[in-house]
Amino acid sequence: MIRIVTDSAADLTARDLDTPGVTVVPMGITFADGTATVDDGSMTKDEFFTRLAEDSKLPRTSQPSPASFIELFEEAADAGDEVIVITVAQKLSGTYQCASLAAAETDAKVYIIDSETATQGEAIIAREAIRLREQGLSASRIAAELETFKKRVRVVAIVDSLKHLQKGGRLPAAVAIVGGALGIKPVLALSDGAIHLVDKGRGRPGALVAMYRQLDKQGGVDPAYGYTLLYSDDKQLTAPVHHYLHQNLHLTGGRVGQIGPTIGTHIGPGAVGVAFVIPE
């Protein structure tokens, strides 16, 4: 069997998690008062965002340890299975390096993919791995296909502010200041492993229009893969985005996925966006 492993930054849905042979390695969350948890669902996403709003300081996130990967890899080797690991972008986390260190310590046949994205973008790549596995492709072929496929994955989102990204070190302070003008909502794009401030709009209506423009500027949406709406703490924010994609772009096959603690720490509340695949 080919096992598919990813990390909690992928924010896999319950349906994804029910797929046989899919495993998530959780990342760690440490709050300002020193209490710690892992992003494994023991704290719900809604509970996390409530805590995030209450605390004056951002929690810290930490990548999984190599030991957590070693355990999975050794179990796979004992079963005669191969492993495909899909990690959050290297530029955002050290998870890829931890998985690589672990693979070097075991006899398992492991293929590690730097997704160059996160949250539902990473989940799209995991679902593509599942689809290719169902077609009967070998692990090495799936890994090669994913290396090409990941270049087509995009995430575009509106955030309430850039302070969480700036405080977490995921965005330069100068960029955060540009996107922090009064009444301005930043529009971000995640591609090639990095977060980019690509546009902004006055208020949420203006930001939504700017985000819709980015769908075209990023290359358009491949209808064969549908799309995934993503949000942090308020699911209702996805309604106008769904309406635009359905009525204006005539897209179907949409999913909805909530951002979890690993990425939510850096994105903050009030975020809404779209993860999609651009055409070849």
For 132-174, give the DSSP string: HHHTT--HHHHHHHHHHHGGGEEEEEE-S-SHHHHHTTSS-HH
Q: Tell me which amino acid residue 37 is.
A: T
Q: List pLDDT tens digits, range 81-135.
A: 999 999 999 999 999 999 999 999 999 999 999 999 999 999 999 999 999 999 9
Q: List pLDDT tens digits, range 184-193.
A: 888 999 988 8
Q: List pLDDT tens digits, range 239-260.
A: 999 999 999 999 988 999 999 9
Q: List pLDDT tens digits, range 47-73.
A: 999 999 888 888 999 999 999 999 999
For the beta sheet containing 153-158, the strands, ordered from the edge strand earlier in sequence to the opposite edge, are 194-202, 184-191, 153-158, 272-277, 227-231, 254-258
Residue 177 has pLDDT above 60, yes or no: no
Q: Tell me which amino acid residue 246 is.
A: H
Q: pTM here?
A: 0.92
**Domains with residue ranges and CATH for the chain:** 2-151 (3.40.50.10170), 152-277 (3.30.1180.10)
Q: List pLDDT tens digits, range 1-44.
A: 999 999 999 999 888 999 999 999 999 999 989 999 999 988 99
Structure tokens at 45: 């996403």
Residues 6 or more apart whose Cβ sits within 8 Å of residue 176: 162, 163, 165, 166
193 near 116, Cβ under 8 Å? yes
Question: What does the angle CA 239 – CA 245 – CA 247 come to, to the nearest 5 degrees?
Answer: 95
